[in-house]
């Protein structure tokens, strides 16, 4: 066995690779040598049709077209919030799942959008126009923001119906303009019950072996003319240029797999100073705060199903981050990630100092970054409160948004903050109104009170005036929640168009408080702009000198743009004397099943398993239905919902998680601990066919 494991490790080591490759880099890879049965043009072809055209970004997650009638597969957890919004205690789709057996039964997923890439181009020169090495840091950030906005506006004017955005690939250095088609009428088609889609709940989250059926189907619609349109009964299913072929035979251990998806953020090019800030300040602050908030919300919903349902999506997303940060903190504790960085920085410093010209040009880079992080640490407590205070309470979020909107409306559209530009107002209003669906008075009061108390305890040098001028925090919070108007949908809709004067006349205490807080948040933003501007200048130089030193090109950190990564179906050794194999099966679902809500497997699944009714989805060697697969690809948050593809580019799984040990790979990828998890397509199809009896979806995907 030992020998086999060693051999497998060696085999896979040959293939495993760090890398979230942007579209521009794919053609540089020798795909044939890595075992691909397709070439780079099949994956990305700017002048033709390729797999990229079948990849979608759905509300921050990744997703895939799987039929020519706009059918999309993504994760259950990616649509969870939407499912919660359309559920009631009587019609509880979160608990029971939902299947639309006709197109008419599909439920509009308000607020969800699907984005497809149309094209991209390098706009670094235009973005950095007007900036020199001596530009004031605040000015630098402002110029970049302004240039970016005008490039976006011009692109959207040139291509009506498309949305444009600029992505920073290397800070201060490389910028890419992406043009997207954004589909706005998305509907729920098939959502498994929570006991399948979130099997194992938080216990199993970020854990292998895993048995979660984390998948859902949705459908994208467009207007009768084929153009993007908001929901209307007369809309038609969208016809994508390309959809993925779903291969019901899946893959096996050691097979090559790859992913096309939208990884959110990684920090591998950051310095040790940033990593120390993460380890010492940001991660522990957020982890503790989330843990406390989750405990309060769980207690509030314990004996009240309606409250539990209303808070479920918020608990889920806070818990996801909380456990991820615990994993990262453990990683920092156990692995020499910061030490390795420091060593690299020492060597780089020696390289810089070895040449006079280099020293002159790059001598200030690392010391400069260090002093920015010293500044960041000096007011981190206050900054943490100011970053979190608005979001701590739904009422304060709404009050603050209304006030900001009234302020921003006075400016010409192009000068407003992006969220308040005319094109984004429908989504902004939608967000406000849907946040009310998870509003809970007890929780909102508690969270507001807690953060105000924290704020009032800040050291004098970091105090927040708007909070200090509240005489009695308890009484203030009571007055805010005595008869709040911002919980009334009709009032919020009306207030959405109010001017500053009209808002003032409402004499609403939370709007007043948001107004008092605003200049302090603004001031902090200016301080942040200065720091970002300085880091922007220094980071660009850091990349230059590192490239000169290592004589190689770098892959930019993840930034929510489309990337490809590849690897192998492969187990791992999480701890001494333990080896995890990479395919879990229905047997494991049965082993974990119990009456606990997280493990309460539907009766139908238990019955099918008892009959060994696996249909065509049985893995021959395992003699069972594969449920989840594990691989050494390079993924992060945002890759949730990504298609996992075989060497031919056929869909064989849907990525949804990483292992606990792999959460640290946002800072440093390593083939020994970086493992990601997908739901196996065989489990998806088995559920659809046997459990949901929704064979019509298999027909639509061309499977039967």
Is the CB of 372 or the CB of 678 nearer to ligand ASP? Answer: 678
CB of 635 to ligand ASP, least distance (A): 5
Rounded to the nearest 10 degrees, how much is the dihedral formed by the CA atoms of 83, 89, 95, 98? Answer: -50
CA distance 222 to 161: 12
CB of 639 to ligand ASP, least distance (A): 6
CB of 196 to ligand ASP, least distance (A): 16
DSSP letter for each residue of 50-108: -GGGGEEEETTEEEEE-STT-EEEE-HHHHHHHHHHT--SSS-HHHH-EE-SSGGGPEE
CB of 219 to ligand ASP, least distance (A): 23
Is the CB of 383 or the CB of 684 nearer to ligand ASP? Answer: 684
CB of 17 to ligand ASP, least distance (A): 17
CA distances from 95 to 98, 169, 210, 438, 638 (A): 9, 41, 20, 17, 25
In contact, 403 and 500? CB cutoff 8 Å: yes
Is the CB of 141 or the CB of 635 nearer to ligand ASP? Answer: 635
Residue written as token pair 């497997």: 601
Is the CB of 517 or the CB of 558 nearer to ligand ASP? Answer: 558
Is the CB of 31 or the CB of 61 nearer to ligand ASP? Answer: 61
CB of 329 to ligand ASP, least distance (A): 16
CA distance 482 to 151: 47
Which class for 233: exposed (0-12), middle (13-18), buried (19 or more C-beta within 10 A)?
exposed
CB of 654 to ligand ASP, least distance (A): 11
Is the CB of 243 or the CB of 323 nearer to ligand ASP? Answer: 323
Is the CB of 609 or the CB of 667 nearer to ligand ASP? Answer: 667
CA distance 73 to 192: 12
Is the CB of 204 or the CB of 657 nearer to ligand ASP? Answer: 657
CB of 47 to ligand ASP, least distance (A): 33
Is the CB of 324 or the CB of 393 nearer to ligand ASP? Answer: 324
Residue 551 is encoded by which pair of tokens? 């004589």
CA distance 11 to 22: 26
In contact, 680 and 627? CB cutoff 8 Å: yes
Is the CB of 481 or the CB of 572 nearer to ligand ASP? Answer: 572
Characterize the bridge pairing of strands 174-183 and 185-191. Answer: unpaired
Residue written as token pair 């792999």: 662
CB of 551 to ligand ASP, least distance (A): 32
Residue 688 DSSP code? I
CB of 93 to ligand ASP, least distance (A): 21
CA-nearest of 586, 570, 597 to 671 is 570
* DSSP SS3 for 462: helix
CB of 10 to ligand ASP, least distance (A): 26
Is the CB of 381 or the CB of 561 nearer to ligand ASP? Answer: 561
CA distance 663 to 207: 10
Chain residues that interact with ligand ASP, rule: CB under 6 A: 320, 635-637, 639-640, 656-658, 676
CB of 676 to ligand ASP, least distance (A): 6
CA distance 76 to 214: 5
Residue 495 is encoded by which pair of tokens? 């207030």
Is the CB of 183 or the CB of 654 nearer to ligand ASP? Answer: 654
CB atoms within 10 A of CB 206: 19
Which residue lies nearest ligand ASP, judged by its C-beta?
637
Which class for 160: exposed (0-12), middle (13-18), buried (19 or more C-beta within 10 A)?
exposed
């Amino acid at each position: 066995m030992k020998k086999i494991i060693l051999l497998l490790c060696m085999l896979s080591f040959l293939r495993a690779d760090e890398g979230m490759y942007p579209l521009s880099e794919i053609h540089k890879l020798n795909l044939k040598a890595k075992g691909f049965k397709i070439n780079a043009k099949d994956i990305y072809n700017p002048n033709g049709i390729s797999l990229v055209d079948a990849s979608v970004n759905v509300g921050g997650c990744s997703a895939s077209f799987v039929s020519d009638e706009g059918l999309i597969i993504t994760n259950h957890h990616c649509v969870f919030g939407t499912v919660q919004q359309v559920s009631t205690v009587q019609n509880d789709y979160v608990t029971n799942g939902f299947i639309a057996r006709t197109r008419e039964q599909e439920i509009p997923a308000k607020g969800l959008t699907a984005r497809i890439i149309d094209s991209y181009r390098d706009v670094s020169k235009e973005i950095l126009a007007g900036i020199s090495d001596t530009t004031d840091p605040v000015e630098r950030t402002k110029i970049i923001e302004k240039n970016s906005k005008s490039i976006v506006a011009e692109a959207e004017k040139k291509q009506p119906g498309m949305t444009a955005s600029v992505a920073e690939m290397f800070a201060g250095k490389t910028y890419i303009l992406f043009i997207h088609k954004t589909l706005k009428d998305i509907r729920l088609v098939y959502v498994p019950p929570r006991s399948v889609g979130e099997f194992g709940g938080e216990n199993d989250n970020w854990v292998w072996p895993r048995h979660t059926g984390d998948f859902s189907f949705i459908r994208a619609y467009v207007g009768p003319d084929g153009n993007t349109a908001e929901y209307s009964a007369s809309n038609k299913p969208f016809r994508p240029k390309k959809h993925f072929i779903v291969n019901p035979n899946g893959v096996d251990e050691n097979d090559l797999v790859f992913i096309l998806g939208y990884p959110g953020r990684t920090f591998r090019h950051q310095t040790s100073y940033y990593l120390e800030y993460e380890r010492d300040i940001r991660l522990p602050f957020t982890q503790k705060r989330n843990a406390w908030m989750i405990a309060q919300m769980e207690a509030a919903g314990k004996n009240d199903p309606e409250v539990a349902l209303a808070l479920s999506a918020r608990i889920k997303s806070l818990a996801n981050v909380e456990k991820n940060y615990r994993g990262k903190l453990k990683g920092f504790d156990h692995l020499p990630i910061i030490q390795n960085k420091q060593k690299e920085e020492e060597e780089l410093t020696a390289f810089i100092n070895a040449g006079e010209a280099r020293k002159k040009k790059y001598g200030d880079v690392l010391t400069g970054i260090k002093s920015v992080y010293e500044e960041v640490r000096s007011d981190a407590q206050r900054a943490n409160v100011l970053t979190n205070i608005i979001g701590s309470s739904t009422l304060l979020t709404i009050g603050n948004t209304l006030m900001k909107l009234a302020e921003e409306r006075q400016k010409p559209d192009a000068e407003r903050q992006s969220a308040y530009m005319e094109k984004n107002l429908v989504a902004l209003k939608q967000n406000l109104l849907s946040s009310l669906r998870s509003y809970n008075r007890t929780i909102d009061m508690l969270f507001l009170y807690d953060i105000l108390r924290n704020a009032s305890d800040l050291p004098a040098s970091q105090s927040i005036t708007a909070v200090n001028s509240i005489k009695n925090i308890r009484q203030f919070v009571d007055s805010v929640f005595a008869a709040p108007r911002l919980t009334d949908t009709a009032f919020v809709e009306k207030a959405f168009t109010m001017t500053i004067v009209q808002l003032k006349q409402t004499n609403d205490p939370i709007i007043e408080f948001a107004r008092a807080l605003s200049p302090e948040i603004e001031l902090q933003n200016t301080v942040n702009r200065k720091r970002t501007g300085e880091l922007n200048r220094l980071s660009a130089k850091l990349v230059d000198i590192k490239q000169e030193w290592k004589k190689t090109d770098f892959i930019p950190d993840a930034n929510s743009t489309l990337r490809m990564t590849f690897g192998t179906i492969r187990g791992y050794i999480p701890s001494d004397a333990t080896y995890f194999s990479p395919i879990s099966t229905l047997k494991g679902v049965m082993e974990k099943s119990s009456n606990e809500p997280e493990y309460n497997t539907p009766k139908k699944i238990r019955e099918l398993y008892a009959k060994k009714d696996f249909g065509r989805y049985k893995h021959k060697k395992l003699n069972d239905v594969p449920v989840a697969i594990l691989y050494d690809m390079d993924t992060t948050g945002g890759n949730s919902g990504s298609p996992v593809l075989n060497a031919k580019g056929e869909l064989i799984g849907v990525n949804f998680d990483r292992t606990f040990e792999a959460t640290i790979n946002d800072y440093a990828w390593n083939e020994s601990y970086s493992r990601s998890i997908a739901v196996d397509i065989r489990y998806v199809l088995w559920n659809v066919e046997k459990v949901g009896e929704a064979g019509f979806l298999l027909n639509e995907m061309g499977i039967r």
